[in-house]
């Protein structure tokens, strides 16, 4: 079973309280909605206390071009991504696995555009082998992080000596549309944030991570599922000024009715029941999404405590968020043989599920 040997995260430089962002939204949206005070409750009800952004809040008070925002995306994604890789596998001079032994980099993002893609730019900053395979994945949104783990699993199953990095960089704040006074943009303003995360995945025949005495999660199985004809549930609408959020109010209902059969199928094929799952490593799309998870799967609310904690301190960082949740699980009191389900949902509408088991 491929091993998740390390997970690290990097927070962007500007930390804002939810009260600060709510006041910003009030000033921007109050002329568009006569019931602005009622709508602003979405900031209070979401149970988010703080978030991180690459730019200070003053920067968002003016209209910005798509070009300006995307140039910032490339710059911050490259530098923060390189920082996170060094945090994950170590600086080049004392890394616990040499950079030239990284066989592939999966780069996950949906919040900016870059060609060449970001991992190529990072490879010019850090001493990777020029033969390292590059697999940029764009457009999976919130499901992208879990999907990156799944594709790394596939790669390491095919090449068991491999060491693979999964790097997620989501700078959601740079997609903010100053002149979009829709309710979707208001909800997005209350929820989304910036985050950077990296994981090292190692095949069965790799030496990396095996010498550690601490328990680590091994990936046992994965399942990807697409809900047919559901493109309007979540995603981007591309316009002249950039990316506009598509965020259906029906997402919690879709989760309640559609997710449970997927999880049941996944558990059945692994000859497991929900009662045998010790940990639920859920991407916290929002308070209502976490509630929908527990409703659909019959889970006690305590199973989502770590996801709720990440949502409270960091908001929804799209694909990067599930890395933050997994890192907290890896730092918690787990037992050898514990089983966990990693779950994330994204545009498509789609789900990504992984079964992990803790071991040495």
**Could you report the per-residue pLDDT of 22-37, keeping only the tens digit for each?**
898 888 888 888 888 8
> Does position 210 have pLDDT exceeding 70, yes or no?
no
Interstrand relation of 339-346 and 350-359 (parallel, antiparallel or unpaired)? antiparallel
Determine whether 142 is an active site residue.
Answer: yes
Model pLDDT for residues 133-178, shown as the tens digit of each residue:
999 999 999 999 999 999 999 999 999 999 999 999 999 999 998 8
Q: What percent of the chain has pLDDT over 90?
A: 64
Task: Tell me the three-class secondary structure of the chain, residue by residue.
Answer: CCEEEEEEEECCCEEEEHHHHHHHHHHHHCCCCCCHHHHCHHHHHCCCCEEEECCCHHHHHCCCCHHHHHHHHHHHHHHHHHHHHHHHHCCCCCCCCCHHHCCEEEEEECCCCCCCCHHHHHHCCCCCCCCCEEEEEECCHHHHHHHHHHHHHHHHHHCCCCEEEEEEEEEHHHHCCCCCCCHHHHHHHHHECEEEEEEEEECCCCCCCCCCCCCEEEEEEEEEEECCCCCCCEEEEEECCEEEEEECCCHHHHHHHHHHHHHHHHHHHCCCCHHHCCEEEECCCCHHHHHHHHHHHCCCHHHHHHHHHHHHHHCECHHHHHHHHHHHHHCCCCCCCCEEEEEEEECCCEEEEEEEEEEC
Report the C-alpha gap between 279 and 268 in whole angstroms: 17
Diameter of the chain by CA atoms?
62
The pair of three-digit structure tokens given for residue 50, joined into one six-digit string:
């703080």
Global model pTM greater than 0.85: yes
* CATH architecture, domain defined by 216-359: 3-Layer(aba) Sandwich (3.40)
Catalytic annotation, pick one of 142, 156, 198, 202:
142
Count of residues in the chain: 360
Identify the pLDDT of residue 108.
98
Query: Residue 117 to residues 47, 60, 137, 168: CA-CA distances in angstroms?
Result: 35, 26, 10, 12
C-beta atoms surrounding 264 within 10 Å: 13
* CATH architecture, domain defined by 3-202: 3-Layer(aba) Sandwich (3.40)
Identify the pLDDT of residue 140.
93
Domain with CATH 3.40.47.10 in the chain: 3-202, 216-359
Identify the pLDDT of residue 209.
65
**Among 55-59, 288-292, 322-326, the least confident range:** 288-292
């Amino acid at each position: 079973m491929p091993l998740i040997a390390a997970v690290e995260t990097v927070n962007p430089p500007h930390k804002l309280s939810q009260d600060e962002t709510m006041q910003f939204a009030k000033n921007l949206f109050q002329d568009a909605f006569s019931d602005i005070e009622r709508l602003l409750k979405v900031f209070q009800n979401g149970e988010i206390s703080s978030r991180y952004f690459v730019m200070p809040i003053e920067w968002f008070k003016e209209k910005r071009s798509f070009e300006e925002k995307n140039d910032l995306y490339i710059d911050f994604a490259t530098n923060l991504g390189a920082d996170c890789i060094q945090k994950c596998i170590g600086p080049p001079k004392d890394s616990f696995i040499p950079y030239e032994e990284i066989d592939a980099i999966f780069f996950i993002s949906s919040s900016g555009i870059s060609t060449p893609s970001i991992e190529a730019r990072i490879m010019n900053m850090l001493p990777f082998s020029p033969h390292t395979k590059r697999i940029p994945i764009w457009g999976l949104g919130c499901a992208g992080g879990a999907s990156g783990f799944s594709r790394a699993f596939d790669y390491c199953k095919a090449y068991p000596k491999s060491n693979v990095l999964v790097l997620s960089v989501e700078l959601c704040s740079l997609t903010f549309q100053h002149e979009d006074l829709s309710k979707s943009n208001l909800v997005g303003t209350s929820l989304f944030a910036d985050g950077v995360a990296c994981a090292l995945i190692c095949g069965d025949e790799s030496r990396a991570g095996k010498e550690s005495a601490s328990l680590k999660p091994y990936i046992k199985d994965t399942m990807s599922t697409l809900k047919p004809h559901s493109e309007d549930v979540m995603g981007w609408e591309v316009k002249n000024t950039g990316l506009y959020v598509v965020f259906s109010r029906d997402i919690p209902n879709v989760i309640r009715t559609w997710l449970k059969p997927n999880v049941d199928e996944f558990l059945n094929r692994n000859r497991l029941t929900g009662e045998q799952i010790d940990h639920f490593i859920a991407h916290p799309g929002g308070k209502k999404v976490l509630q929908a998870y527990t409703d659909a799967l019959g889970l006690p609310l305590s199973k989502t405590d770590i996801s709720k904690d990440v949502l409270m301190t960091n908001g929804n960082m799209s694909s990067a968020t599930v890395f933050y949740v997994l890192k907290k699980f890896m730092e918690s009191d787990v037992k050898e043989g514990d089983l966990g389900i990693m779950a994330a949902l994204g545009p498509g509408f789609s789900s990504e599920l992984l079964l992990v088991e803790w071991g040495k």
